A and B are shown apart, each in its own frame.
Chain A
Amino acid sequence: MRQKIVFMTLALFLLLVIVELVRRRRLRVEYSWLWIAAGLTIVMLILRYDLLIVLTNAVGAVVTTSTLFFCCILYLALLCLHYSVRITALTREVKELAQEVALLKAEREVRPARQD
């Protein structure tokens, strides 16, 4: 019972932080879904421990803790992959912008800005 109270408090705190970050525009809405889903999953597993047992049996694991840890690691790995994809896109965008800045600067040096 004490376990449940501790983890419920943590999960609710996590959800509160996420909502607050989105509200203050510190976290983009599209990224917040991942974190909200994680928080809600924790809440759900606290309320319905039997679901974890069902899942454990379904994947053929022996103890529920290993199912839990496996899911956590999988989740984090996918999150990292997602970030790598984003970083790749951002790197390309930054490169394109840097090149464009250099080209525009060079253009301005050749033809000084008109006074109008």
Chain B
Amino acid sequence: MERRVLVVIPAWNEAPNIEAVLAELRAARPADAMVVVDDGSTDGTAALARRAGAGVLQLPFHIGYGAAIQAGIKYGQRGGYRVVVTFDGDGQHDPADIAPLVEAVEQGADLVLGSRFLAPTAFRGSLARRAGRGILSIIARRLTGLSLTDPTSGLKALGPRAQELFALARFPDRFPDADALILAARARLHVAERPARMRRSRNRHSMHDGHRAVAYTFNMLLSLLVAAAGREADLRG
């Protein structure tokens, strides 16, 4: 039986989490293929993932979250998977939320996001993070006409057209969040949202903490404007 769904798990030094994340995924989604994208880890993440039976895409050095995701999407395209799901390697996502995302893609959506804010137990986060997300949400709505509650979500399901867009060489690989959504909207992809529960990851070294959240927001704002003005959305290249 050909597997239809590939779960891409970007991981950078996630040795404390990766085994539990993979075990949980395997239990919840036994029919799906899994590939861990090891983004230049130095703590043996790749070996742990291999031992857990996942496919491993080992990048020769650290190239960043977005580029790691992109590598996984390329892997999915070459393997001919209908749906590629991105699922963070730090344990913050719940495998139970994958099913509705995949279902939405099968019903015709190109790109489906897991949203914390549609879930019954709403995730809140620090004030800085909430403010940043609020601003991004408003701008993304202005620029795309999409009303998305959680544009920075790392839990996504991509159909073939979204995979094609995300695999472009010039796709924004530093901040593939709200700007990616703008590109998706401009490429006339059908974008949807489904509820997703987010957990505090067990051993977190999140990039969205403290002052980095501020820097991230500014980078994101600039990235949004570039996405809105640039030519990247043209799928024909």
A and B assemble together? yes
- Bound together, the chains give a CA A106 to CA B61 distance in angstroms of 15
The 10 tightest CB contacts between A and B, nearest first, are A99-B71, A102-B57, A102-B59, A95-B67, A106-B57, A98-B59, A98-B63, A95-B63, A101-B60, A98-B60
- Bound together, the chains give a CA A95 to CA B37 distance in angstroms of 14
- Bound together, the chains give a CA A101 to CA B40 distance in angstroms of 13
Which residues A59-115 have CB closer than 8 A to chain B? 92, 94-96, 98-99, 101-103, 105-107, 109-110
Q: For B35, list chain A residues within 8 Å (CB).
A: 106
- Bound together, the chains give a CA A109 to CA B49 distance in angstroms of 14
Q: Beyond A92-B169, A92-B170, is A99–B74 a contact (Cβ under 8 Å)?
A: yes
B58 contacts A105, CB within 8 Å? yes
Q: Beyond A92-B169, A96-B169, is A103–B57 a contact (Cβ under 8 Å)?
A: yes
A106 contacts B74, CB within 8 Å? no
Report if B173 contacts A (CB, 8 A).
Answer: yes
- Bound together, the chains give a CA A101 to CA B70 distance in angstroms of 13
In the complex, given contacts A92-B170, A95-B173, A98-B63, what are 7 additional A-B residue pairs having Cβ atoms less than 8 angstroms apart? A101-B60, A102-B57, A102-B59, A102-B60, A102-B71, A106-B35, A106-B55
| Chain B residue nearest to A96 in the complex (CB) | B169
- Bound together, the chains give a CA A99 to CA B169 distance in angstroms of 11
Which residues B162-215 have CB closer than 8 A to chain A? 169-170, 173
Which residues B63-116 have CB closer than 8 A to chain A? 63, 67, 70-71, 74-75, 78
**How many A residues are at the interface, by size bracket?**
10 to 19
Q: For B71, list chain A residues within 8 Å (CB).
A: 98-99, 102-103
Selected A-B contacts with CB under 8 Å, 19 pairs: A94-B63, A98-B67, A99-B59, A99-B63, A99-B70, A99-B74, A102-B58, A102-B60, A103-B57, A103-B74, A103-B75, A103-B78, A105-B57, A105-B58, A106-B55, A106-B57, A107-B78, A109-B56, A110-B55
Tell me the B residues contacting A by CB distance below 8 Å.
35, 37, 55-61, 63, 67, 70-71, 74-75, 78, 169-170, 173
Shortest CB–CB separation between residue B88 and chain A, in angstroms? Answer: 19
| Chain A residue nearest to B55 in the complex (CB) | A106
- Bound together, the chains give a CA A99 to CA B63 distance in angstroms of 9
Shortest CB–CB separation between residue A82 and chain B, in angstroms? Answer: 20
Shortest CB–CB separation between residue B46 and chain A, in angstroms? Answer: 10
Shortest CB–CB separation between residue A92 and chain B, in angstroms? Answer: 6
Q: For B70, list chain A residues within 8 Å (CB).
A: 99
Q: Beyond A106-B55, A106-B56, is A98–B74 a contact (Cβ under 8 Å)?
A: no
Shortest CB–CB separation between residue B201 and chain A, in angstroms? Answer: 24
| Chain B residue nearest to A109 in the complex (CB) | B56
- Bound together, the chains give a CA A103 to CA B167 distance in angstroms of 13
Shortest CB–CB separation between residue A21 and chain B, in angstroms? Answer: 29
B60 contacts A106, CB within 8 Å? no
Q: For A103, list chain B residues within 8 Å (CB).
A: 57, 71, 74-75, 78
Shortest CB–CB separation between residue B80 and chain A, in angstroms? Answer: 13
